[in-house]
């Protein structure tokens, strides 16, 4: 009987020790989990901030939902566009009246992103109606075509375009860039407008992209797939090259000068409807663009913005990040 009691006491003692170890391990596990969670919270990266301390993506920024219920925070990007009446509705060819332009613009102005829109005062109310539910993300700047940067050169552009030397051997005289001075003035003013927008102070975003008012012409596959679309693939804050869509890489590689090329009926090498980048990229590129426009004009070369872009690339290729694509591919290339 005493032997049995001894065994019983030994088993009881071992059981008590085992239970103490189990409780100790459980407590240690709880402490480890708590410390791990606390460490994760303390070491979680804060939202990136620029030199002024501004958050690149606001921690408590407005949250949107797309049609699938996916929520996202507003992208750190501002889109810039503009419209100026150059009488295209009464042209003998390449006709596009104002109403058609505004119909085309419905798709891009439906984007729930920051927008800066340059239009003459007479069109302000139409843009306000199209952005009625997003005016907190919209700045409309009244500007006449006579106030555009390149409009100061209108007389010189007229003199060149109506000269015999300009018309000699020119295969595109029936195209807008061949017969309409204002077309060349407006298209070459897109870059200066982009810079002006980046300096307006309304939207302090890292990225600014120009997008043509009639971009995509409302056609499926050429319009934003969602109102929440943003160019995520080209939003590297450390890449200060200007982004352009390149249509003809081989043609660009063979090109040495545009002196004769601009008169030839060839596909444009660059798509000028969508371009931009960081503030720094925009400023550097626009300064180059302005100087190049003046340089070409001094050589009696006048053409649309796509030729000016090509000349800029030939002079400063390192400033460009080129993405292969077509005229209205931005929404599928960069999402």
Strand 138-142 to 207-211 pairing: unpaired
Element (H, E) at 189: none
State CA 89 to chain mean position distance: 29
pLDDT in tens, 257-316: 999 889 999 999 999 999 999 999 999 999 999 999 999 999 999 999 999 999 999 999
Position 62 pLDDT exceeds 90: no
| Closest alpha carbon to 292 in 277, 270, 273, 314 | 314
Tokens representing 89?
């509705």
Predicted confidence (pLDDT) at residue 23 exceeds the cutoff of 80: no
- How would residue 75 be classed by pLDDT, with cut points 50, 70 and 90? confident
Q: 142 or 55: which carries more pLDDT confidence? A: 142
Rg from Cα positions in the chain: 30
pLDDT at 273: 98
Phi and psi at residue 77, in whole multiples of 5°?
Answer: -145, 145
Q: What are phi and psi of 209, to 5 degrees?
A: -130, 130
What does the alpha-carbon distance between residue 291 and residue 149 come to, in Å, rounded to a whole number?
A: 12
pLDDT of residue 185 exceeding 70, the answer is: yes
pLDDT at 260: 80
pLDDT, averaged across the chain: 85
CA dist., res. 250 & res. 310, Å (int): 13
Q: Which residue has the higher pLDDT, 185 or 22?
A: 185
5 pLDDT higher than 70: no
Length of the chain counted residue by residue: 335
Tokens encoding 34:
């708590």
User: Among 2.60.40, 3.90.550, 3.40.50, 1.25.40, what is the CATH number of 74-333?
Assistant: 3.90.550
pLDDT of 110 strictly over 60:
yes
Residues 6+ apart with CB under 8 A from 82: 117, 118, 119, 143, 190, 193, 213
Per residue in 129-175, pLDDT (tens digit) is 999 999 999 999 999 999 999 999 999 999 999 999 999 999 999 99
Query: How confident is residue 335, by pLDDT bands cut at 50, 70 and 90?
Result: confident
When pLDDT is averaged across residues 85-110 and rounded to a whole number, the result is 96
Lowest mean pLDDT segment, chosen from 22-36, 40-54, 78-92, 175-189? 40-54
Q: What is the pLDDT of residue 287?
A: 99
Domain extents for the chain? 74-333
Provide the total of helices (H) and of strands (E) in the chain, helices listed first.
12, 9
Burial class (CB in 10 A: 0-12, 13-18, 19+), 151: middle
Lookup result for tokens 């085992």: 18
Edge-to-edge, what's the strand order for the sheet holding 77-82? 138-142, 114-119, 77-82, 207-211, 270-278, 242-246, 320-324
Predicted local distance difference test score (pLDDT) of residue 73: 39
Which residue, 41, 115, 48, is CA-closest to 83? 115
**pLDDT per position as a tens digit, 204-249:** 999 999 999 999 999 988 999 999 999 999 999 999 999 999 999 9
Q: What percentage of the chain carries pLDDT values higher than 90?
A: 75
Helices marked H in 95-209: 98-108, 124-130, 154-161, 164-167, 176-179, 181-188, 190-198
The answer to whether the beta carbons of residues 204 and 160 sit under 8 Å apart is no
Report residue 220 as tokens: 């499926």
Q: What is the pLDDT of residue 57?
A: 34
- Per-residue pLDDT band at 20 (split at 50, 70, 90): low
pLDDT at 47 over 50: no
């Amino acid at each position: 009987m005493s032997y049995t009691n001894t065994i019983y006491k030994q088993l009881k003692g071992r059981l008590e020790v085992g239970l103490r170890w189990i409780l100790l391990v459980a407590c240690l596990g709880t402490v480890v989990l708590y410390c791990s969670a606390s460490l994760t919270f303390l070491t979680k990266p804060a939202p990136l901030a620029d030199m002024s301390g501004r958050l690149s993506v606001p921690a408590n920024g407005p949250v949107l939902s797309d049609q699938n219920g996916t929520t996202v925070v507003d992208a750190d990007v501002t889109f810039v566009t503009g419209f100026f009446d150059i009488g295209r509705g009464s042209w003998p060819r390449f006709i596009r009246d104002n109403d058609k332009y505004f119909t085309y613009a419905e798709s891009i102005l439906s984007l729930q992103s920051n927008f800066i829109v340059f239009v003459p005062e007479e069109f302000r109310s139409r843009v306000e109606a199209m952005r009625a539910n997003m005016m907190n993300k919209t700045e409309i700047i009244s500007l006449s075509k006579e106030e555009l940067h390149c409009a100061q050169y209108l007389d010189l552009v007229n003199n060149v375009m109506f000269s015999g030397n300009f018309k000699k051997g020119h295969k595109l005289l029936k195209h807008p860039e061949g017969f309409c001075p204002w077309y060349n003035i407006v298209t070459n003013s897109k870059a200066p407008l982009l810079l002006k927008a980046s300096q307006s102070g309304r939207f302090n975003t890292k990225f600014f992209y120009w997008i043509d008012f009639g971009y995509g012409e409302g056609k499926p596959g050429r319009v934003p797939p969602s109102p929440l679309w943003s160019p995520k693939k080209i939003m590297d804050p450390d890449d200060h090259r200007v982004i352009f869509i390149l249509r003809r890489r081989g043609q660009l590689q063979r090109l040495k000068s545009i002196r004769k090329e601009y008169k030839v009926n060839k596909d444009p090498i660059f798509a000028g409807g969508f371009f931009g980048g960081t503030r720094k990229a925009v400023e550097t590129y626009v300064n180059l663009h302005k100087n190049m426009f003046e340089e070409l004009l001094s050589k009696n070369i006048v053409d649309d913005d796509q030729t000016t872009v090509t000349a800029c690339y030939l002079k400063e290729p390192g400033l460009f990040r080129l993405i292969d694509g077509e005229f209205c591919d931005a929404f599928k290339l960069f999402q």
